[in-house]
Amino acid sequence: MREDNVMELPFFLLVLEITFIVVGKAVHPGCECLIFSSTYSKEKAVFKSPDYPTPYSPNIDCLLYSFVSGPDEIIEITFEDFNVYRDKSDCLRGDYVKVFIHLDSAGINEYTPWETVYCGRMVDIPSVIYSSGPALVLEFHSGPRVTNTTGFTGHFKFIDKRVFHTEGVLLPNTMCDYQFQSSPEESAYGKFYSPRYPSSYPKNSRCSYRFRARYKERIRVVFEEVLLQKGDISCLNRADIIRIYDGKSTSDAVIRVLCNEGNELEVLSTGSELFIEFVANSNSPGQGFKARYQFQSMEETNTIDNSKYNRLGFLFPTEVGPSVSETRSSCDIIINSDTSKNGTIMSPMYPSPYPSKTTCRYEFQGRGKERVQVVFHDFNLYHVQDHSKDCENQDSLNAFVHIDGRMEKIDSFCGSTLPKPVMSNGPRLKLEFQSLYASRYSRGFNATYIFTDNFGIKTGTQVPDYPCAFELNSNVSKVGYFHSPNFPGVYPRDTECHYFFHGNPKEKVHLHFNYFDVEGVLPCEAISASDYVEFSNFIPRDRKYQRHCGQLKEFDIESDRKFFRVTFRSNDRLDGTGFNATYHFLNQVDMYTVIPKINGSKGCLAHSYLLLSMVLSTFLLMVRVP
């Protein structure tokens, strides 16, 4: 026998060497069981379906692939190819592989619960799965139908499960409630995980992770990987969800909500406490999450000499200046919301011409659910006329946000066109000014920044239970307007905002969208990487209304009753300028009258049209009253 790997033997020899019949403990007495308990000093070893890569035989009643590790290990299985005949209606009606991943031993019977069933092709299954304990079993069946499907192949390896140890203190009499306390004796860094990670988390579970820093410390948490239940619905209606609270309990404001997939998602507390709640109530659990934390001192950054940088053309708030990196260019600055919530940034020497061959970086660091918004008041950069219309090889200002653990450029500005407002997708934003040429006539730029927690939305009442949610109440105003985050600028990526309309009994709400530019294509779903706006007469999704995305002409939407929900959701890919809309609460018997728009009229005139419409509706109602 070869010494390298027994799993690479022809299938009939493999069965001869490591197969035996398990009587009584198998799914039924006729099951054949292949035992995989060693990789023979290699990092990984191979497993295959019968006769792979030629089609497998029909009527394989029960073939068990049993993987057994050491007591402090778990099993990782990676499928390299998967092609198992799939019946159109149900995997169990065709050929299939049952997956058992939560086992204490490899012995299973007809009562052992399986986690999931695989059939179809590679695109239909996860390519990697993990056990939660020292055993994992795949149960393969083929029916009487003769097909040309080739089965599967992959490799497995054993991993030390202590790598996924949560470093906090498990609270007594709880399954997964942890506390993390900053102290001089403990490390300021650590990691924590969802239950059973990297295997799927248990159903119907609730876990909490409470962080307590010392005086003048803050908490930084980075979710390195989040894989919750699959599905294309908003976080508002997710059964599996992670909520991050800016304080010590669920009574504090929500910083962020995570409900699907993501990498390197950063959260920074505003105070010395942070509370994270993980709730899993779906029937199809995902892999969960892995995260790291850090207790940060507020004094980690250095102050700067304002007078020196004002001579270079920077204007800072008068109280405490922002910090600057001492190892970079003299015009690189870091602005922290701990020291200033708003202020002004300028190009070097503004309003005088800026120097050539200069690179300046303006890095903004917020906390909690703060987003950074930059509004430009003057913009005049030298533009080479012979070059293309884009900003490549031009004097330019580039905007970057934090996506998947890296700073990704979202926009470039050049020439003399005043940029629209810019907003971050989280607590960080970077602007990079690059001067290649300069000119004695080019004065640069002047902009104000603000660390805001309202996403640039100033209408309605903000709801603290969600990162971005606003109530618009009929008792406060019968008419008004609302818009996407940062409108009229590009909306931030990876953002979900809700607008809840509350009317009085026998009222409904009429919405008129004056402008609509939301990146996506019909039917505005995750499979096409579309952002979308969703409408509903309920908190859950309302199938009466299709999602809206793309660049649309003016349109109207009306509720059926006094409550109406509008949800805006963007992903981490492309973006648009969002939407601007007006609302009008009407009695259910009233009709909404659309007044033609005068050429050049925008939001303010549209608001006046609503007032005229309300007066007209009231008049019609009075006429009907005897």
One domain for residues 16 and 122: yes
Domain boundary among 452, 471, 498: 452
CA–CA dist 563, 559 (Å, integer)? 7
CATH number at residue 287: 2.60.120.290
> If 0-12 CB within 10 Å is exposed, 13-18 middle and 19+ buried, where does residue 116 land?
middle
pLDDT score of 590: 67
Q: Distance between CA atoms of 41 and 56, rounded to whole angstroms? A: 30
Residue with tokens 């994270």: 276
Helix intervals (H) in 62-177: none
471 and 592 inside one domain? yes
Tokens in use for 16? 């001869």
Task: Specify the pLDDT at position 30.
Answer: 67
Do 155 and 125 lie in one domain? The reply is: yes
pLDDT along the chain (626 residues), means of 10: 40 36 46 92 94 95 95 96 91 94 90 93 95 97 94 97 95 96 92 97 96 95 94 91 96 93 91 97 93 87 37 35 42 91 95 93 95 97 79 93 90 95 95 91 95 95 95 97 97 96 96 97 92 96 94 97 97 92 88 50 42 43 39
Distance CA 199, CA 134 (A): 12
Sign of CA dihedral 26, 29, 31, 36: positive
Beta strand 273-280 with 406-414: parallel, antiparallel or unpaired? unpaired
Tally of domains in the chain:
4
Using CA atoms, how far apart are residues 460 and 17, in angstroms rounded to an integer? 71
Is 371 within a domain?
yes
d(CA 148, CA 170): 52
Return the H-helix or E-strand segment holding 624: helix 603-624
- Token digits for 526? 């995750």
Residue 44 lies in a domain: yes
The reply to whether 473 and 611 lie within a common domain is: yes
End-to-end CA distance of the chain: 101
Give the residue from 297, 332, 355 where a domain finishes.
297
- What is the model's pLDDT at position 15? 37
Confirm whether 332 is domain-assigned. Answer: yes
**pLDDT number for residue 388:** 63
DSSP letters, 529-566, are T--EEEEESSSS--TTS--B-EEE--EEEE-SSSEEEE
Q: Which of 472, 475, 479 is nearest to 592 (CA)?
A: 479
Strand 217-227 to strand 358-365: parallel, antiparallel, or no bridges (unpaired)? unpaired
Pairing between strand 45-48 and 128-130? unpaired
Task: Give a yes or no: residue 520 inside a domain.
Answer: yes
Q: Kindly state whether residues 62 and 146 are assigned to the same domain.
A: yes
Residue-range definition of the domain harbouring residue 556: 461-624
The answer to whether 208 touches 274, Cβ cutoff 8 Å, is: no
Mark which of 297, 330, 364 sits at the end of a domain. Answer: 297
- The reported pLDDT for the residue numbered 594 is 54
- Quick one: 400 and 497 in the same domain? no
Contact 259/242 with Cβ under 8 angstroms? yes
Give the side-chain half-sphere CA count within 13 A for 323: 14
pLDDT at position 526 is 87
Per-residue pLDDT at 6 = 39
Q: Do 274 and 188 belong to one domain?
A: yes
268 and 368 share one domain: no
Q: For the chain, what percentages of helix, strand and coil (3-state, to nearest 5) are there?
A: 10, 40, 50
Does residue 1 lie within any of the structural domains?
no
Judgement on whether residues 484 and 560 belong to the same structural domain of the protein: yes
Do 122 and 179 reside in the same domain of the chain? no
List, as one string, the DSSP characters of 353-394.
Answer: PPPSSEEEEEEEE--TT-EEEEEEEEEE----TTS-SSSTTS
Q: Are residues 404 and 498 in the same domain?
A: no
286 and 320 housed in the same domain? no
Residue of 275, 205, 206, 210 whose CA lies nearest to 243: 275
* Residue pair 486/376 in contact by the 8 Å Cβ criterion: no
